[in-house]
Chain A
Amino acid sequence: MQSTVLLAHGGGGAQTRDLIAQVFQNHLANPEFTQDDAAILKLGQEHIAFSTDGFIVQPYFFPGGDIGKLSICGTVNDLSCMGAQPKWLTCAFVLEEGLPLKDLDTIVASMAATAKEVGVNIVAGDTKVASKGQVDRIFITTSGIGQIITPNPPAGSLAQNNDAIIVTGDIGRHGAAILLAREQFGLEAEITSDCAPLWHLVRKLYAAQIDIHVIRDATRGGVGTVLYEIAAQSNVGIHIQQKAIPIEPQVQGICRILGLDPLYLACEGRLVLFVPQDKAQDTVELLQKEAHGQNAAIIGYVDAKQKAGTVVVETEIGAVTVLPQPTGELLPRIC
Chain B
Amino acid sequence: MFNDTELAHTTIEDARTIITTYTGKPLRIMEVCGTHTHEIFRLGIRQLLPPKITLISGPGCPVCVTPVSYIDQALWLGLEQRAIICTFGDLIRVPGTTMSLGDARKEGLELRLVYSPLDAIQIAKENPTREVVFLSIGFETTVPGECLAVQEAKAEGLANFSLLLANKTMPEAYLALKNSADAFLFPGHVCAITGTQDCRALTKLGISGVVAGFTAQELMTALAAILILSRQDKPFFMNCYPRVVADCGNVAAQKLIQSILAPCDSEWRGLGVIPKSGLKLREEFQDFDAQRRFHIPHLESHANAACRCGDVLQGKCLPKDCKVFGKACTPTHPIGACMVSSEGTCAAYYQYGGM
The answer to whether A317 touches B16, judged by C-beta atoms less than 8 angstroms apart, is yes
Question: Which among A184, A185, A310, A318 has the greatest number of chain B C-beta atoms within 10 A?
Answer: A318
Residues of B within 8 A of A184 (CB): 115
The answer to whether B351 touches A320, judged by C-beta atoms less than 8 angstroms apart, is no
The answer to whether B351 touches A317, judged by C-beta atoms less than 8 angstroms apart, is no
Residue in chain B with minimal CB distance to A325: B351
Residue A316, interface by CB 8 Å: yes
The answer to whether B216 touches A324, judged by C-beta atoms less than 8 angstroms apart, is no
Residues of A within 8 A of B116 (CB): 186
Q: What is the bound-complex CA distance between A185 and B119, given in angstroms?
A: 10
> C-beta contact mask, B320-355 vs A, less than 8 Å → 1, else 0?
000000000001100000000011000000011101
The answer to whether A319 touches B351, judged by C-beta atoms less than 8 angstroms apart, is no
Residue B296, interface by CB 8 Å: no
Residues of B within 8 A of A106 (CB): none
> Which listed residue, A186, A256, A310, A317, touches B45 by the CB 8 Å rule?
A317
The answer to whether B220 touches A185, judged by C-beta atoms less than 8 angstroms apart, is no
> C-beta contact mask, B112-136 vs A, less than 8 Å → 1, else 0?
0001100000000000000000000
Least CB distance, B45 to chain A, in whole angstroms: 7
> Which listed residue, B16, B214, B342, B355, touches A318 by the CB 8 Å rule?
B16
> Which listed residue, B48, B216, B343, B353, touches A316 by the CB 8 Å rule?
B216
Residues of A within 8 A of B304 (CB): none
Q: What is the bound-complex CA distance between A256 and B35, given in angstroms?
A: 10
Residue B299, interface by CB 8 Å: no
Residue A134, interface by CB 8 Å: no
Least CB distance, B29 to chain A, in whole angstroms: 16
Known: A184-B115, A259-B342. A317 touches B220 (CB 8 A): yes
The answer to whether A327 touches B45, judged by C-beta atoms less than 8 angstroms apart, is no
Residue B234, interface by CB 8 Å: no
Known: A324-B352, A327-B331. A319 touches B342 (CB 8 A): no
The answer to whether A315 touches B44, judged by C-beta atoms less than 8 angstroms apart, is yes
Q: What is the bound-complex CA distance between A317 and B42, given in angstroms?
A: 10
Q: Which of A277-335 contact B (CB under 8 A)?
A: 310, 315-322, 324-325, 327-328
Q: What is the bound-complex CA distance between A167 and B220, given in angstroms?
A: 30
Q: Which of B26-56 contact A (CB under 8 A)?
A: 35, 38, 41-45, 47-48
The answer to whether A322 touches B355, judged by C-beta atoms less than 8 angstroms apart, is yes
The answer to whether B216 touches A320, judged by C-beta atoms less than 8 angstroms apart, is no
Q: What is the bound-complex CA distance between A316 and B41, given in angstroms?
A: 12
Residue B12, interface by CB 8 Å: yes
Q: What is the bound-complex CA distance between A319 and B45, given in angstroms?
A: 7
Residues of A within 8 A of B16 (CB): 317-318
> Which listed residue, A185, A259, A310, A319, touches B44 by the CB 8 Å rule?
A319
Residues of B within 8 A of A186 (CB): 116
Number of A-B contacts (CB under 8 A): 52
Q: What is the bound-complex CA distance between A234 and B42, given in angstroms?
A: 26
Least CB distance, B99 to chain A, in whole angstroms: 15
The answer to whether A321 touches B355, judged by C-beta atoms less than 8 angstroms apart, is yes
Residues of B within 8 A of A327 (CB): 331-332
Least CB distance, A228 to chain B, in whole angstroms: 12
Interface size on A, residues (CB 8 A): 19
The answer to whether A315 touches B42, judged by C-beta atoms less than 8 angstroms apart, is yes
The answer to whether B352 touches A259, judged by C-beta atoms less than 8 angstroms apart, is no
Residue in chain A with minimal CB distance to B46: A319
Least CB distance, B221 to chain A, in whole angstroms: 11
The answer to whether B332 touches A328, judged by C-beta atoms less than 8 angstroms apart, is yes
Q: What is the bound-complex CA distance between A318 and B116, given in angstroms?
A: 37
The answer to whether A321 touches B38, judged by C-beta atoms less than 8 angstroms apart, is no
> Which listed residue, B35, B214, B352, touches A321 by the CB 8 Å rule?
B352
Q: What is the bound-complex CA distance between A315 and B342, given in angstroms?
A: 18
Q: Which of A215-249 contact B (CB under 8 A)?
A: none
> Which listed residue, B35, B38, B48, B352, touches A317 by the CB 8 Å rule?
B48
Known: A259-B342, A327-B332. A319 touches B43 (CB 8 A): yes
Residue in chain A with minimal CB distance to B348: A324
Known: A185-B115, A324-B351, A324-B352. A319 touches B332 (CB 8 A): no
Residues of A within 8 A of B47 (CB): 319-321
The answer to whether B342 touches A321, judged by C-beta atoms less than 8 angstroms apart, is no
The answer to whether B41 touches A259, judged by C-beta atoms less than 8 angstroms apart, is no
The answer to whether B216 touches A317, judged by C-beta atoms less than 8 angstroms apart, is yes
Residues of A within 8 A of B48 (CB): 317-319
Q: What is the bound-complex CA distance between A327 and B355, given in angstroms?
A: 19
Least CB distance, B339 to chain A, in whole angstroms: 11
The answer to whether A321 touches B44, judged by C-beta atoms less than 8 angstroms apart, is yes
Least CB distance, A301 to chain B, in whole angstroms: 19
Q: What is the bound-complex CA distance between A327 and B353, given in angstroms?
A: 14
The answer to whether B44 touches A320, judged by C-beta atoms less than 8 angstroms apart, is yes
Residues of A within 8 A of B214 (CB): 256
Question: Which among B43, B48, B115, B352 has the greatest number of chain A C-beta atoms within 10 A?
Answer: B43
Least CB distance, B127 to chain A, in whole angstroms: 19
Q: What is the bound-complex CA distance between A324 and B331, given in angstroms?
A: 12
Q: Which of A160-203 contact B (CB under 8 A)?
A: 184-186
Known: A259-B342, A322-B355. A317 touches B44 (CB 8 A): yes
Q: What is the bound-complex CA distance between A159 and B77, given in angstroms?
A: 54
Q: What is the bound-complex CA distance between A327 and B343, given in angstroms?
A: 14
Least CB distance, A10 to chain B, in whole angstroms: 15
Residues of A within 8 A of B343 (CB): 259
Least CB distance, B23 to chain A, in whole angstroms: 20
Q: What is the bound-complex CA distance between A139 and B35, given in angstroms?
A: 38
Residue in chain A with minimal CB distance to B217: A316
Residues of B within 8 A of A319 (CB): 43-45, 47-48
- The list of the 7 closest CB pairs from A to B, nearest first, reads A319-B44, A324-B351, A321-B44, A322-B353, A316-B216, A319-B47, A327-B331
In the complex, given contacts A184-B115, A259-B343, A318-B48, what are 18 additional A-B residue pairs having Cβ atoms less than 8 angstroms apart? Answer: A185-B115, A186-B116, A259-B35, A259-B38, A315-B42, A317-B16, A317-B43, A317-B45, A317-B220, A319-B44, A319-B47, A319-B48, A321-B41, A321-B43, A321-B44, A321-B47, A322-B352, A324-B352
Q: What are 13 A-B pairs at a CB distance below 8 A?
A: A259-B35, A315-B43, A315-B44, A316-B43, A317-B12, A317-B45, A317-B48, A317-B216, A318-B16, A318-B48, A319-B48, A321-B43, A322-B351
- B residues neighboring A (CB under 8 Å): 12, 16, 35, 38, 41-45, 47-48, 115-116, 214, 216, 220, 331-332, 342-343, 351-353, 355
